[in-house]
Every structure is written in C-alpha cells, then in structure tokens.
Amino acid sequence: MPFTEVADRVWVLRVPSYDVNLVAVGGERGLVVVDTLATAHEARAAIAAIGDLRAGRVVAVVNTHDHFDHVLGNATFKERYDDPPVHATEEAAARTPAEAPPADHTLSSAAVIDLGDRQVELVHPGRGHTAGDLVVRVPDADVLLAGDLVEESAPPSLGSDSWPLEWPQTLDLVLGLTTPSTVVVPGHGGVVDRRFVEQQCDDLRAVAETIRDLATRGVPEADALASAAWPFPVEALHHAIGRGYAQLPRVRRQLPLA
C-alpha cells in the first residue's frame, strides 16, 4: 500500500478495504495522521508505509468521525508512537468504540495542530455524515481533508446516524474553506477538486429539499422513495428518508379561531 503525495508533504494512502483513505501530513515537528483504518492489521501496514516515507514520527492522530473504518486503528498508532494525542470532535469522541480508543483531545468548533513550519487546522463545520464530522485544512498546501462529508467512489453515505437536512449547509461551510485550486481528499475514493464538492453539495441539497417537499405535501414516509426523482440510487437513500422525516419540525395542528 504505497502513499501518493498529493501536495507538499501531504500523502494519501488509499486502502482497498472499504476504499478508505488514511492521510499523513508532514511538518518539521513530525507527522499528523488523519484516520487510522478499520483493523489493527491495516494500521500496522500503514505504519510500515509511513516508515518508508522517512518523514518523521507520528506526533498526532486525527479522527474525522467515529465510524469503525476510520478509528479502529487508533490503539495501534498509540502503541507504536508512544501515545500520541488523538483529536476529534466532542461528539465523535463520545461515540467512538471503547476499543478504538476514543480521542483524548476534543474540540467543539475548531483547533490547530502546530507542526512548527506549518499549521494543521481542524474544523467542525456542522452535522452531515454524522453529528461529529471534522475536516482538516492544510492552508499552505491548499489541501482539505473532508472525511466522509465527501465521497468519491460511492454516493455519500446517508446512514442511520446521518443528518440529511443539514448536510448541504455543512458542505457550504466546507466550500468556504477552499479555493478554486484546492486539493480535496474524500474519506473514500480518489482525490477530487472543488467542483466535485460543489456538485455533491447540490445533489445533497436536492435530497434535502425533496424530503421537505414530500413531507409538506403529506406524502407518507413509506411512499417517499417511490414518489420523487432522486440524484442517488434509491438503495442509498433508505436511511435518508427516515432520518429526514424525523428531523423535520412537527407541525402543530390547531382548530381555526372563530
């Protein structure tokens, strides 16, 4: 599993299992690793590949969210590199499986990791793929690591803990952290550009607006998938419908005043 350098001292390791990305960001003080994969075996292979970079030791780990394929290598990295801090949002840390282990440095909105000659910015832009999504910005390299707020090799994962009605606004904020030339690394799949993120944001906005429209017109949740055209395959939207309907404000019905 060789790394690919996508910008100055920003390396991406694309792992066949779940097509997930692990990213290493280098600076004069060492390396920040973003996401740690799904198993100890995968994490050990990644650690071997990091050694091949000859770019220094891992001094910090970041989890973009709490799903197993991004956090279960935490313990392996902490053991190998003398217990480096693990960063995540408060929400992600609270939901990370105990065996991972969960992040010990948490943030509510933003934080910075100082690598000496460069800053690595951590931002919670809002809820989308999960309630605790985090993106990583490397300003001097014009790179944004988007976690699973952006996916390239499959439709966005609108799972049972997703926030489909808020995801578009969250991506709007993420886009505000980019430039026309930003390299965007998704949680899964190949590297993309700002235009790709804009298109995925538009598609997610269409999902959110369609859910609102169907609910407003009184279409039952059970009939929603068959009642509209969707930008993603219907099999990717089963959780999205239920989550969206549940997140809409309840309408209070009142008798008309005489």
Helix axes 167-175, 194-216, angle to 10 degrees: 160
Mean pLDDT across 4-30:
97
* pLDDT(92) > 50: yes
Residue 253 has pLDDT above 50, yes or no: no
Residue 184, pLDDT > 50, answer yes
Element counts in the chain: helices (H) and strands (E): 7, 12
pLDDT in tens, 151-168: 999 999 999 999 999 999
pLDDT value for 233: 96
DSSP per-residue letters across 175-192: HTT--TT-EEEEEESS-B
Lowest mean pLDDT among 11-25, 178-192, 240-254: 240-254
Polymer length in residues for the chain: 258
**Is the predicted pLDDT of residue 67 greater than 80, yes or no?**
yes
Domains and CATH numbers, the chain: 4-247 (3.60.15.10)
Select the more confidently predicted residue: 245 or 250: 245
Mean pLDDT of 21-35: 98
Can you give the pLDDT at residue 251? 52
Pair of tokens at residue 172: 């709007």
The pairing of beta strand 135-138 with beta strand 183-188: unpaired
Q: Which residues sit opposite 23 in a β-bridge?
A: 12, 34
- Is the pLDDT confidence value at 222 over 50? yes
Q: Is the pLDDT of residue 1 over 80?
A: no
Residue 218's CB is within 10 A of a number of other CB atoms, namely 7
- Over range 225-240, report the average pLDDT: 96
> Residue 19 above 90 pLDDT?
yes
pLDDT given at position 249: 85
- The helix (H) or strand (E) run that includes residue 105 is strand 105-107
pTM of the model: 0.95
Q: Do the beta carbons of residue 27 and residue 141 sit within 8 Å?
A: no
What is the CA 239 to chain-centroid distance, rounded? Answer: 18
Look at residue 27 and give its three-state secondary structure: strand
Amino acid sitting at position 225:
L
Give the number of other CB atoms < 10 A from CB of residue 229.
6
Q: What are the structure tokens assigned to 217, written together?
A: 């017109």
Q: What 3-state DSSP class applies to 124?
A: coil
Look up residue 257 and give its DSSP letter. Answer: P
Residue 220 in this model has a pLDDT that exceeds 50: yes
Per-residue pLDDT for 255 more than 60? Answer: no
Instruction: Using a pLDDT cut of 90, give the percent of the chain over it.
Output: 95
Provide the pairing of β-strand 20-27 with 30-34.
antiparallel
Cβ atoms 68, 38 nearer than 8 A: yes
CA-CA-CA-CA torsion sign (46, 48, 54, 58): positive
Mean pLDDT in the chain? 96
Q: What's the rounded mean pLDDT across residues 217-228?
A: 96
How far apart, in whole angstroms, are the C-alpha atoms of residue 123 and residue 78? 23
Q: In this model, does residue 124 exceed pLDDT 80?
A: yes
